[in-house]
């Protein structure tokens, strides 16, 4: 909490004030755990994942997964803690972050079942079994799990779904006591945007100004396509029918957007990526136009033979 505060605000004795505020939290003191012994250190993100279950809270079981390298936490609600339910939720997490090298768990029946073992084997995941009821066997990763369990117990009123997601976002953006780094930065190589970033609107405006300058530079160098009013274009059609429909540019409505009109007088505002140039026959090259544009010559202008 102190690390997060230092990133955005400051006042005299800020750390002391935060310590006093947290120290006066009665539920925090009653559920506090002793520090655990460190475990083996992993060399890369999403290599060893520690999994556990918490609950039931609010009539739900909670599947917990923490990355041992970044300390990134995932919490999923389940109606039951079965092997099939565990496999299903792990598939969803792996679809986002990828398949880890190993998974550490206790000796729970959902982890030691043949179904779960086959799942890990097919994915090429090594299963590490740790001693149950012994947090030190999981080190700092297990302490993240324990912290999450404590947080879930505190959610006794209000919209607990919303409070859970708020807790997860906070966990993802606060520097870990074990690593000194923010979990999101270690796992994703970027910081997550939060409402606290609104405290630095000057930085947001500066970033916006630089983006606009870069866009102007690319436009001036001809690196970006552009259209002018009355240009003939094709417009990408996302509904049924032809993929591209003809249209005409009416006006520019943004840096990369235009207002166009189709032959049936339908007005469409579209991004430049949905537009391409449409070649049309030159009026001078049209036989009909040439015939109509022939200047009649009077008989008096024709020399007599």
Is 3.40.1350 the CATH classification of the domain at 231-277? no
Question: Can you tell me the distance from the alpha carbon of 60 to that of 153, in angstroms, rounded to the nearest whole number?
Answer: 12
Question: Can you tell me the distance from the alpha carbon of 206 to that of 176, in angstroms, rounded to the nearest whole number?
Answer: 30
Does pTM top 0.85 for this prediction? no
Is 3.30.420.10 the CATH classification of the domain at 48-188? yes
Q: Where in the chain is the domain with CATH 3.30.420.10?
A: 48-188
pLDDT at 223: 59
pLDDT in tens, the chain (305 residues): 666 666 677 788 778 887 787 777 766 665 555 444 456 778 899 999 999 998 888 788 999 999 999 999 999 999 999 999 999 999 999 999 999 999 999 889 999 999 999 999 999 999 998 866 555 555 556 677 778 878 877 766 677 788 889 889 999 999 988 888 999 999 999 989 888 777 776 766 777 777 777 766 666 655 567 899 999 999 998 888 888 999 999 999 987 899 999 999 999 999 988 999 998 876 655 444 444 444 343 444 344 44
pLDDT at 154: 76
pLDDT at 255: 78
| Rg, Å, the chain Cα set | 32
Contact 237, 246 (CB under 8 A): no
Q: Where in the chain is the domain with CATH 2.30.30?
A: 231-277
Residue 152 structure tokens: 């879930």
pLDDT at 303: 45
């Amino acid at each position: 909490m102190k690390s997060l505060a230092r990133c955005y605000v400051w006042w005299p004795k800020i750390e002391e004030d935060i310590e006093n505020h947290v120290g006066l939290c009665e539920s925090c003191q009653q559920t506090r755990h002793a520090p655990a012994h460190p475990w083996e250190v992993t060399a890369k993100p999403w290599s060893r994942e520690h999994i556990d279950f918490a609950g039931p809270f609010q009539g739900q079981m909670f599947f917990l997964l923490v990355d041992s390298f970044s300390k990134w936490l995932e919490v999923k609600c389940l109606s039951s803690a079965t092997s099939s339910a565990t496999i299903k939720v792990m598939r969803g997490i792996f679809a986002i972050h990828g398949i880890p090298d190993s998974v550490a768990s206790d000796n729970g029946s959902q982890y030691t079942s043949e179904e779960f073992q086959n799942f890990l084997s097919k994915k090429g995941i090594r299963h590490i079994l740790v001693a149950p009821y012994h947090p030190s066997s999981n080190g700092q990763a297990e302490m993240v799990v324990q912290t999450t369990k404590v947080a879930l117990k505190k959610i006794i009123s209000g919209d607990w779904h919303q409070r859970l997601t708020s807790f997860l976002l906070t966990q993802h953006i606060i520097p870990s006591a074990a690593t000194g780094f923010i979990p999101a930065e270690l796992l994703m190589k970027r910081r997550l945007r939060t409402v606290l970033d609104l405290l630095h609107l000057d930085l947001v405006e500066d970033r916006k100004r630089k983006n606009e300058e870069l866009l102007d530079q690319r436009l001036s160098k001809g690196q970006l396509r552009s259209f002018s009013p009355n240009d003939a274009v094709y417009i990408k059609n996302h509904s049924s029918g032809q993929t591209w429909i003809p249209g005409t540019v009416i006006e520019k409505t943004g840096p990369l957007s235009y207002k166009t009109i189709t032959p049936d007088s339908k007005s469409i505002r579209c991004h430049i990526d949905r537009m391409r140039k449409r070649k049309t026959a030159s009026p001078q090259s049209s036989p009909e136009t040439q015939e109509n544009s022939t200047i009649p010559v009077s008989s008096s202008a024709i020399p007599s033979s």
